[in-house]
Amino acid sequence: MELLIRNGFVFDPINGVNGEKMDIAVKDGKIVDKVNESRAKTIDATGMVVMPGGVDIHSHIAGGKVNAGRLLRPEDHFKDVERKTAVTRSGVGYSIPSTFTTGYRYARMGWTTVMDPAMPPLEAKHTHEELSDTPIIDKASYPLLGDWWFVLEYLRDGKIEECARHVAWMIKATKGYAIKVVNPGGLEAWGYGRNVESLDDPVPCFGITPREIIRGLCKVNKLLHLPHTIHLHTNNLGKPGNYLTALETMRCVEDLAENGKPVIHITHCQFCAFKGDDWRTFQSGAEEIANYVNAHSHVTLDMGQVIFTDTTTMTADGPFQYTLYTLTGNKWTNHDVETETSAGIVPFHYKRKSYVHATQWSIGLELALLIKDPWKIMMTTDHPNGGPFTAYPRIIAWLMSRKAREATLRKINPKARSRSLLPSISRELDFYEIAIVTRAGQAKALGLKNKGHLGVGADADIAIYNFNPETMDPAKNYRAVRRAFKRAAYTIKGGQVVVKDGEVLKHMDGATMWLDVQLCEPCEIELNENLKRRFKEYWTVEFENYPVSEDYLAVSHPIPVKADV
Amino acid sequence: MVEKHKLKVVLLTGRTIEQGVGKELGKITSEYAESVSVCYMDPEDMKKLDIKDGANVQVSTAFGSVVVKAKKSLRAPHPGVIYIPYGPWANVVVDPETHGIGMPTFKGVPATVEPAPDKPVLGLSELLKQQFGKG
Amino acid sequence: MPVVKAVSCPVCGSLCDDIELTIENGEVVKVKNGCAMCEAKFLSHRSEHRIRKPLIRKDGEFVETTLEEAIRRTAEILAEANYPVLYGWSNTSCEAISVGIELAEEVGGVIDNTAVVCHGPSLLSVQDMGIPSCTLGQIRHRADLIIYWGCDPWSAHPRHIERYTAFAEGRFEKSAWRGYMAKIRSLIGLKKIRSAAKRLVLKEPSEIEARLKPTFVPSIAREGRKLIVVDVRRTKTAEMADFFIQVEPGKDYELLQALRALVRDQELEVDHVAGVPVEYLEEVVDAMVSCDFGALFFGLGLTMGGAKLRNIDAALSLIRDLNMRTKFVIMPMRGHFNVTGANMVFTWQTGYPYAVDFSLGYPRYNPGETSVVDVLLRGESDAALVVASDPVSSFPRKAAEHLARNPLIYVGPHMDVTAQVADVVIPSAFVGIEAPGTAYRMDHVPIPLKKVVDPPEGVLPDEEILRRILSEVRKIKREKTKAEAA
Ligand code: SF4
Ligand SMILES: [Zn+2]
């Protein structure tokens, strides 16, 4: 099928296109040079913004933890339902939407690629079953590897290459996309209800420190040539004073960087940019983090923006979630996974009038605005931790419009307002920068060659928004910006029009991407024998029942990677 | 408690390994029927009713009445408590009320037990015919 | 003879995945590593009680029919119904359940799974306060205190103790098997041990003999794992316990609240609670707060009797309290092998674990109203599809009566009680023996099910049968809209 998108204002930062009026041609699901104009279906994008489909580097949309959240919160769904239509399945929202609804809601906003950032390897099949039930969007998931016993043991013994081979096996076995590390060492300690407090706090029973885990996995990542860096949720997340831990974490891998390329991604950075000794003296540490990031090139971040709403927090950080439970007294679900990781879930309501919550809101935006290079910071809410992904249009408006920020500032806790850096920041992102922080930068950080841009050969994932940058100023008309991003005029996925005027036109499967890591030596057999032996000791399932077969992926999209080991 | 050979008890229903194996073998087998048309009783209670292992007894609750075979419990002592494995016989006498949460009361239903030497324990298809008119 | 290894057992929620089957002439002839229930299932898949041909009731009697006819009739019943119930799902694959939900959505019915009559109250409690839990391996590696409350794994989950808890070998905690052996040897003698060992299916007889040799360790002096059982009866599991607490029927709630008070260092002003001396409870609480990692498993003894929901609320609260002192987890003992999977798929597709009503075009959930027993007791349903379950043998008579009154379709492998009162019976393959799929263990770990032999000729898996019903329903609806338009 051929498609021609005419006359839109195109924002394609990877190819340096900044709002030029041009046509985009599509054939067989890819962007092409030109199409036969008489045969092609035409979309008139005159007066509209055309961008690559949105890419989300970090959003909890599938798997055991997300589903435990859905189970935990019927009250979250009652108020937000989706009726079955002739083409779509029914479902529910709000902060933890059911799978079909998740796919539709992303597509309605013009997002076409989403990364689920926390897959417990033992339960990887579950993550993939849900991803396969998440329609339209392409997706992938990061296995949690930072507290896997194999990693702890090999890194403790200094066996980096051995560790790399096992990590490669694990990524293939779980059909994963990147190395996810959450509160390194802390999750193993949580097995007995404990935690680690600093980068040099030894992990109980394992004789290794968080610093060694982070550095070790950074090296492993390089040996394996994975397209993304290690994806790290820092130690001490959610604790006052933790911006120091975040800075130290970034510093601890400085020497591992080469050619100015990133080696670490600090995720939902807002949650680890807290200054102060306790909740009373709590303050923003965004400036210090931004200063460091502005001076260094080995790190990328995503925001983890907070939205004032009732949401559901869920991370693999068991001890953090426990703390949140003791702070709030709310419902609390915990789920430790043998040999690998943990998870916790606590409902949470961010309130405008709370000093801490309002400051958190400010920190996320301060980070995005103070970090000068938009390629280093990506827009996320750490869905649903800071708020549901459906709040993206509001965040875009805050980023593009000082007026929008001020409107919210007026309504928040006065102490938080008076301490916020936002009133002093005049920066307003333009559509080009928005395209970077919502798609191009994310695709680049993920190493997704065919996503996040509209160059010839790219996947024809395209979003068209009804906003005319020639006649309207987004900084002034921020409500129109919000409306435009909430309901895309068109969403095109793999060359097919899936959304028009915010309505889903068809239910179709998206692909699940995973890394087919190829090791250079034929060491598979040896590896398998070693694994088999230890399986019985470490896990309660049999070796051959552990890996996720490709049958679990509705559409499997392996990406070959050649490793150095 | 004994009033003319009638004993007031608390009825529990639940799993047994025999029922578990029986259900995997298939539910029209006589093994299955025999494994679930029984009532486990405390030996002291059986003495009170003057019945022997394997005697027919009638178990009645506010919701129904069913004849099953009394069996000496290996899990005694539990005076005043009788136990019928999950199955169609137990269902005749459990409390259907879900108290607004979707779940009937399968355990702890007040019941009476009395000897029923003249009444037969129905087979599965007879029981279904009697209860549902189908089967 | 071909031997298939690492087969998952499609019987109980323990989902042991280390079964070895010997296959001969397309039949399972030998089962290794499984318990008695596992053996019974694998060896009976070819029993004479299998249904081989679809049946339709005509003039009160079953007559054989073709699959096409049975599916057409099923689709007609469902398409015509205003408020059908679709019930069962705990003994089939997640893949089949997924199609079942789509079918329920298409016909605007109520879909419910067997959790409604087992751990429904547990799920409601979890929705009230959450649940601190973990996977079973975590317990195997770390738990030094294990409590079974209102459940008898020896009978209902025979390998649970051996694989995951007291008798399993973990990284940080060793099996309590030797201590237990010593204890019963001194108590009962060798003969009973052998039969106990056989029940637990611990590998080869020679291995059992070898395990009987170790020196005597009295269980009281024993370090390491401790096992506590709370039940109304002295169950088989209770006989193995270090502490057995015999609670009076219906008094679990009082007992749990008493334990909570003791955990919070409050004095009890009575000598006995629920028939148990308070001193004994104090000892138990000491063991609870001083362990490094405790695990409480609870069964239908808590969910089905007495205070039901309040029991589970109290148990969850107790575990929340204990987590202020040490690490403690809690887990329901799920019965059918894929009842957990049914809850999972329901939840990710509809937001709710069971009792989902699609009559308004979107998922609605209100147990007590949208739960199947209540729908039946109110006499509201006008058709029923039962898949992979036997409600007539598990529902109270009044509910079963209405079910039998509805046009009733049964899809399943053998002539269950429900099949016998059904109007259409469609035979299906045994999932996990004759059809592959996925199931979820009680701790939410997904386990693949294998197809090891072919189903009887002409017999399809549930998933395929449901797909055909769904497409037939859609066809009938299309025909109807066309006819109405004309
Ligand atoms: S314990 Fe359960 S899963 Fe394991 S073999 Fe026995 S019946 Fe099967
Ligand atoms: Zn996250």
**Which of C16, C19, C39 is the pocket-test mutation for ligand 1 (most atoms within 8 Å of CB)?**
C16
Give φ, ψ of C36 to 5 degrees: -60, -40
Task: Name the residue among C31, C33, C30 with its Cα closest to residue C14.
Answer: C33
Residue with CA closest to ligand 1 atom 3: C15
The proportion of chain A whose per-residue pLDDT surpasses 90, expressed as a percent, equals: 95
Residue linked to tokens 């599809």 = C385
Smallest-distance ligand from the CA of A316: 2
- The reply to whether C317 touches chain B by the CB within 8 Å rule is no
Alpha-carbon C96 to chain mean position: 17
The contacts of residue A337 (CB under 8 Å, 6+ apart) are A120, A121, A122, A123, A343, C134, C135, C138
Residue A202 DSSP label: P
CA of A142 to the centre of ligand 2 (A): 11
Asked if residue B102 has pLDDT above 90, the reply is no
One-letter-per-residue 3-state SS of A445-482: HHCCCCCCCCCCCCECCEEEECCCCCCCCCCCCHHHHH
Smallest-distance ligand from the CA of A118: 2
Provide the residue type at A217 as one letter.
Answer: L
Interface probe with B: pick from C313, C417, C418, C433, most Cβ of B within 10 Å: C417
Q: What is the pLDDT of residues C101-146, one digit of tens each?
A: 999 999 999 999 999 988 998 999 999 999 999 999 999 999 999 9
Task: Name the residue among B29, B131, C95 with its Cα closest to residue A128.
Answer: C95
Cα(A217)–Cα(A223) distance, rounded to whole angstroms?
A: 10
Asked if residue A351 has pLDDT above 50, the reply is yes
Predicted ipTM beyond 0.90: yes
Per-window interface: C 11-30 vs B, CB < 8 A: 11-12
Task: Name the residue among A35, A46, A28 with its Cα closest to residue A4.
Answer: A35
Sign of CA dihedral A238, A243, A249, A253: positive
Mean pLDDT, chain B, rounded, equals: 85
Q: What is the pLDDT of residues A233-247, one digit of tens each?
A: 999 999 999 999 999
For residue C126, the model assigns a pLDDT of 96
pLDDT: which is higher, C180 or B60: B60
Q: State whether residue C55 is helix, strand or coil.
A: strand
Q: What is the pLDDT of residues B88-101, one digit of tens each?
A: 899 899 888 877 77
Please return the burial class of A201, using the count of CB atoms within 10 Å of its CB with bins 0-12, 13-18 and 19+. Answer: middle
Q: How far is C420 from chain A (nearest CA, A)?
A: 35
Asked if residue C185 has pLDDT above 70, the reply is no
Domain ranges of chain B: 2-132
Note whether C433 and C28 are within 8 A (CB).
yes
The contacts of residue A469 (CB under 8 Å, 6+ apart) are A9, A19, A49, A431
Mean pLDDT value across residues C294-302:
94
Mean pLDDT value across residues A83-87:
96
Mean pLDDT value across residues C373-390:
95
Asked if residue C264 has pLDDT above 60, the reply is yes
- B132 vs C117, C232, C421: nearest CB: C421
Per-window interface: C 465-484 vs B, CB < 8 A: none
Which atom of ligand 1 is nearest the CA belonging to C34? 5
Residue linked to tokens 């695709």 = A443
Asked if residue B2 has pLDDT above 50, the reply is no
Task: Enter the CATH code of domain B2-132.
Answer: 2.40.40.20
Segment (H or E) for C329? strand C327-332
Q: What is the pLDDT of residues A65-75, one digit of tens each?
A: 999 999 999 99
For residue C215, the model assigns a pLDDT of 35
Residues of C in contact with A83 (CB under 8 A): 360-362
CA of A117 to the centre of ligand 2 (A): 6
Task: Name the residue among C139, C204, C194 with its Cα closest to residue C166.
Answer: C139
Other CB atoms within 10 A of residue C167 CB: 23
For residue A530, the model assigns a pLDDT of 82
Q: What is the pLDDT of residues C442-451, one digit of tens each?
A: 999 999 999 9
Residue C133 DSSP label: E
Note whether A365 and A381 are within 8 A (CB).
no
For residue C187, the model assigns a pLDDT of 55
Residues of B in contact with C47 (CB under 8 A): 25-26
Cα(C323)–Cα(C294) distance, rounded to whole angstroms?
A: 10
Q: State whether residue B50 is helix, strand or coil.
A: coil
Asked if residue C237 has pLDDT above 50, the reply is yes
Distances from the Cα of C302 to the Cαs of A532, B88, C247, in angstroms?
Answer: 39, 22, 11
- Tokens, residue C102: 């789509």
Give φ, ψ of A420 to 5 degrees: -65, 145
The contacts of residue C484 (CB under 8 Å, 6+ apart) are none
For residue C192, the model assigns a pLDDT of 53
Note whether A194 and A210 are within 8 A (CB).
no
Residue with CA closest to ligand 1 atom 1: C159
Provide the residue type at A98 as one letter.
Answer: S
Smallest-distance ligand from the CA of C32: 1
* Contact: chain C with chain B (3+ CB pairs below 8 Å): yes
Q: What is the pLDDT of residues A521-564, one digit of tens each?
A: 766 777 778 888 888 899 999 999 999 999 999 999 999 999 98
Q: What is the pLDDT of residues C14-53, one digit of tens each?
A: 999 999 999 999 999 999 999 999 999 999 877 777 888 9
Q: State whether residue C378 is helix, strand or coil.
A: coil
Cα(B105)–Cα(C395) distance, rounded to whole angstroms?
A: 10
For residue C193, the model assigns a pLDDT of 52
Asked if residue C200 has pLDDT above 80, the reply is no
Q: State whether residue B112 is helix, strand or coil.
A: strand
Mean pLDDT value across residues B36-64:
92
Three-point CA angle C282, C285, C289, nearest 5°: 140
Maximal CA-CA distance, chain A = 70
Overall size of chain B counted in residues: 135
Strand-pairing partners, residue A299, are A264
Strand-pairing partners, residue A459, are A30
Q: Do C351 and A77 touch (CB under 8 A)?
A: yes
Structural domains of chain C ordered from first start: 48-118+337-485 (3.40.50.740), 120-176+224-332 (3.40.228.10)
Asked if residue C175 has pLDDT above 50, the reply is yes
CA of A234 to the centre of ligand 2 (A): 11
- pTM, to two decimals: 0.93
Q: What is the pLDDT of residues B6-29, one digit of tens each?
A: 899 999 887 777 777 777 777 767
Q: What is the pLDDT of residues A395-445, one digit of tens each?
A: 999 999 999 999 999 999 999 999 999 999 999 999 999 999 999 999 999
For residue C309, the model assigns a pLDDT of 83
Q: How far is C22 from chain B (nearest CA, A)?
A: 19
CA of C8 to the centre of ligand 1 (A): 9
**Rg (chain C; Cα; Å):** 24
- Tokens, residue A343: 């998870």
The proportion of chain C whose per-residue pLDDT surpasses 90, expressed as a percent, equals: 75
Cα(C392)–Cα(C401) distance, rounded to whole angstroms?
A: 8
Task: Name the residue among A513, A485, A484, A487 with its Cα closest to residue A501.
Answer: A487
Asked if residue A148 has pLDDT above 70, the reply is yes
